[in-house]
Amino acid sequence: MSDSTTRLDGRVAVISGGSRGIGLATARRFLELGASVLITGRKQPDLESARDDLATFGAERVAIASAHSAREAEVSAAFDHALGVFGHIDIVVNNAATNPSMAPLVEIDLAVFDKIIETNLRGYLIAAREGVRRMRASGGGAIINVSTVGAYRVMRGLGAYGVSKAAVNMLTQTLAVELADAGIRVNGVAPGLVRTRFSEALWTDAAMEKRMLRGIPLARIAEPHDIAGAIAFLASEAAAYVTGQTLIVDGGMVAG
């Protein structure tokens, strides 16, 4: 495999939840590989801080747009902004997600459950639709959806989150089949435990971290760049014959 197949030179990516964690690490990796990026998020100050961080790769290759991933008008405006700044869109990374409740499914407030589904599933479909409308014009592209190992095995306290991401896995497969003739590949990554603010309740407590590590054969918690590398692979020509797949990136957690 030549190095050129893993490069993203000249590509343009829209990354949701790109101001921190996996999204920010993905933006950084894409820039290292030659792409330009637009990152979205809900908080303008966080987006501006991320933009300043990423500008070391060239300010002209970084754009931001404030958007709630479940609000169609805001997402559409973000994609229009990316198109206006860069001229085309080649890659969509659906990363923004929420999990505001650790309650068992039979006890969860249904309004909270609806919010989880709205952001984690409906939001991904909205961004996919907006991306497809613009990628068709340039002859194809790639969509990568961020899932979780909780879509494959029950993790107490993450029931609603796992259910939403299991649906994301089917969304990935369905879109892959529907969009193949448009030259758009659709894949996913399913991280295990990653050292981000989103999952800090699982690793900031020493006893909890020790219990979690017992279930990870590689004996460490993933860093955001571990997941970003997998996303970059799926976005590149190295994965040109890969579609409809969700790559588990969990240090062996599910296998173990």
Q: Tens digit of pLDDT for each residue in 155-198?
A: 888 999 999 999 999 999 999 999 999 999 999 999 999 988 77
Predicted pLDDT of residue 189: 98
Name residue 96's amino acid. A
> In this structure, how many other beta carbons lie within 10 angstroms of the beta carbon of residue 160?
26
> In this structure, how many other beta carbons lie within 10 angstroms of the beta carbon of residue 44?
12
Predicted pLDDT of residue 256: 85
User: Does position 2 have pLDDT exceeding 50, yes or no?
Assistant: no
What are the chain's domains?
Answer: 3-195+225-246 (3.40.50.720)
pTM comes to: 0.95
Mean pLDDT of 25-38: 98
- Cα separations (Å) of 142 from 83, 182, 234? 16, 11, 8
Predicted pLDDT of residue 202: 66
Predicted pLDDT of residue 33: 98
Mean pLDDT of 17-34: 97
Q: Are 15 and 39 in contact (CB under 8 A)?
A: yes
Provide the CB-side half-sphere exposure for 126 (13 A, CA): 23
User: Does position 225 have pLDDT exceeding 90, yes or no?
Assistant: yes
Catalytic residues: 161
Predicted pLDDT of residue 210: 84
Candidates 224, 217, 168; CA nearest to 200 is 224
- Cα separations (Å) of 38 from 12, 155, 183, 195? 8, 33, 22, 23
Candidates 7, 11, 42, 13; CA nearest to 25 is 13
Candidates 187, 190, 192, 191; CA nearest to 234 is 187
> In this structure, how many other beta carbons lie within 10 angstroms of the beta carbon of residue 212?
17
Q: What's the mean per-residue pLDDT of the chain?
A: 95
